[in-house]
Amino acid sequence: MSNVPGELKYTRSHEWVREEGDTVTVGITDHAQEELGDVVFVELPQVGDSFGAGESFGVVESVKAVSDLYAPVGGEVVEVNEALNERPELVNEDPYGEGWMIKLKAEGSGDLLSAADYEKHLAEEAE
């Protein structure tokens, strides 16, 4: 079973969200990195770019596939994880920590899942 920390919120497209005031940190879940396999490249937006909830903000490429990354909530990018340019493997090694992707200044709350609901979503997908 993949790791689903209780304090985070989630999307059906397997991003996680950590809310700190009106700033949210976004990454992909342990389940997502497991499914993708070894991540070899992460394309992230620039600070100052804005996205609506559900819009693609970047791309993650693994040995198996190239997948879009979707903004869990709308907002302006205030920081991106530059470390991923050199070390994309951080997404595999520490998806909820050093493998974070962007920080957004959130506008609105988006349609997010609790940890329990995300686990239910994973169980449904596995069927």
Partner 1 sequence: MLIKDRGRAGRRGYRLPEFDVERVGLEDVIPERHLRREKPDLPEVDEPAVIRHYTNLSRKNWGIDTNFYPLGSCTMKHNPRANEEAAKIPGFATLHPLQPEEQVQGALEVMHDLQGYLSEISGLPAVSLQPAAGAHGELTSILMVARYFEEVGDESRTTVLVPSTAHGTNPATATMAGFKAKEIGLDERGCVEVEELRAAVDETTAALMITNPNTLGVYEQNIEEISEILHDAGAFLYMDGANVNAIMGRMRPAEAGVDVMHFNLHKTFSTPHGGGGPGCGAIACSEALAPFRPDPVVEKAGDAYRLARPEKSIGRIMGFHGNFGVMVRAWNYIRMHGPELKDVTDMAVLNANYVRARIREKYRIPYDTLCKHEFTAQPPKGKRALDIAKGLIDRGFHPPTIYFPLVVKEAMLIEPTETEPKETLDAFVDALLELAEADPGELEEAPERAFTRRLDETRAARQLVARW
Identify which of residues 27 and 88 has a Cβ nearer to partner 1 in the complex: 88
Q: How far is CA 67 from the centre of its chain?
A: 12
Identify which of residues 68 and 117 has a Cβ nearer to partner 1 in the complex: 68
Identify which of residues 25 and 67 has a Cβ nearer to partner 1 in the complex: 67
The site string for partner 1 over 29-58 (x = CB under 8 A, - otherwise) reads ------x--x-xx-----------------
Using rule CB under 8 A, residue 89 touches partner 1 = yes
Identify which of residues 19 and 61 has a Cβ nearer to partner 1 in the complex: 61
Q: Closest Cα to residue 27, out of 88, 86, 109?
A: 88
Rg (CA), the chain: 13
Instruction: Give 113's DSSP letter.
Output: B
* C-alpha dihedral sign at 63, 74, 54, 28: positive
What is the closest distance, in whole angstroms, from the C-beta atom of residue 40 to partner 1 in the complex?
Answer: 4
Among 27, 88, 95, 99, binds partner 1 (CB under 8 A): 88
CA distance 45 to 12: 21
Rounded to 5°, angle at Cα 14 from 51 and 75: 20
Using rule CB under 8 A, residue 66 touches partner 1 = yes
Which residues would be at the binding site for partner 1 (CB under 8 A)? 35, 38, 40-41, 61, 63-67, 88-89
